[in-house]
Amino acid sequence: MSEATTTDDQLRLFIERIERMEEEKKGVGDDIRDTYNEAKSQGYDTKIMRQIVRLRKMSRNDRMEMEAILETYKAALGID
């Protein structure tokens, strides 16, 4: 087997792996959407839930910095 064939096979395998992962990612995305819809049907505010999920991903320091900047901006604009 030539080096080009080996390289071609390797590239094909990478592409196929990526395609499988993209399908898995779509499936997980669908599951997440379904979970938010289920929560919404139980009366939860999904916009707030999404914000909470984003906040929980952040480090405590990043979250505190963001909240301080938000408060500064709100004060500058006269928003309570």
pLDDT value of position 1: 62
pTM of the model: 0.72
Contact 40, 46 (CB under 8 A): yes
The confidence score (pLDDT) of residue 80 equals 84
Name residues of the chain where pLDDT drops below 70.
Answer: 1
Split into its structural domains, the chain has a count of 1
**Residue at token pair 């990478």:** 14
Give residue 26's pLDDT.
97
Angstrom CA distances, 33 to 28, 49, 80, stand at: 9, 12, 32
Phi and psi, residue 25, nearest 5°: -60, -40
Domain with 37, as residue range(s), is 3-77
Terminal C-alpha separation, the chain = 71
User: What are 40's two structure tokens?
Assistant: 């919404």
